[in-house]
């Protein structure tokens, strides 16, 4: 077992939902991913898969918990240190009406081009 390239510890992302309500989109997620491994987040629509991915790469600030990328706390990364993510959506099969989604996490470089 080597070092983890991505590690999330007790990751939480909550949203305000009205005056006195809180929506717990991601609550207590733990992930350990070694270099070369692939992670698939699978679940029903609205269960927090995309929110979890966005929180992992700091598109959303975590309510609590820690995310480490190559041993560095993602919440403290700035500028070129930030991670890039590409969310991909496709079809598992034309016969099935289910969608398959995946994301690729990578380090941004000066040669990285962002496309809308």
Residues 6+ apart with CB under 8 A from 34: 1, 2, 3, 4, 5
Q: Is residue 33 part of a domain?
A: yes
Q: Is residue 97 part of a domain?
A: no
Per-residue pLDDT of the chain (116 residues; tens, 9 = 90+): 568 888 999 999 999 998 899 999 999 999 998 888 888 888 888 899 889 988 988 889 999 999 998 888 888 877 766 665 555 555 444 444 444 444 455 554 444 444 44
Tokens of 65: 């918990």
- 87 forms bridges with which residues in the sheet? 103
Q: Is residue 25 part of a domain?
A: yes
Give the pLDDT confidence score for residue 83 in this predicted structure.
Answer: 61
Report field, pTM of the whole predicted structure over 0.75: no
Q: Give dist(CA 24, CA 48) in Å, integer.
A: 9
Q: Is residue 20 part of a domain?
A: yes
Give the pLDDT confidence score for residue 74 in this predicted structure.
Answer: 85
Q: Is residue 52 part of a domain?
A: yes
The whole domain housing 61 covers 4-78
Give the pLDDT confidence score for residue 39 in this predicted structure.
Answer: 81
Q: Is residue 51 part of a domain?
A: yes
Give the pLDDT confidence score for residue 87 in this predicted structure.
Answer: 55
Q: Is residue 108 part of a domain?
A: no
Q: Is residue 65 part of a domain?
A: yes
How many domains are contained in the chain? 1
Q: Give dist(CA 45, CA 84) in Å, integer.
A: 24
Residue 69's domain is classified under what CATH number? 3.40.50.300
Nearest 5°: CA angle at 26, between 22 and 31?
160
């Amino acid at each position: 077992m080597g070092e983890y390239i991505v590690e999330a510890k007790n990751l939480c992302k909550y949203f305000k939902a009205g005056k006195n309500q809180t929506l717990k989109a991601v609550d207590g997620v733990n992930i350990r991913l070694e270099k070369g491994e692939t992670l698939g987040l699978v679940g029903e629509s609205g269960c927090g898969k995309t929110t979890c991915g966005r929180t992992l790469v700091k598109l959303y600030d975590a309510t609590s918990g820690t995310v480490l990328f190559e041993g560095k706390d993602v919440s403290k990364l700035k500028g070129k240190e930030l991670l890039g993510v590409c969310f991909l959506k496709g079809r598992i099969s034309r016969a099935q009406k289910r969608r398959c989604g995946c994301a690729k996490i990578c380090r941004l470089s000066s040669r990285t081009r962002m496309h809308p």
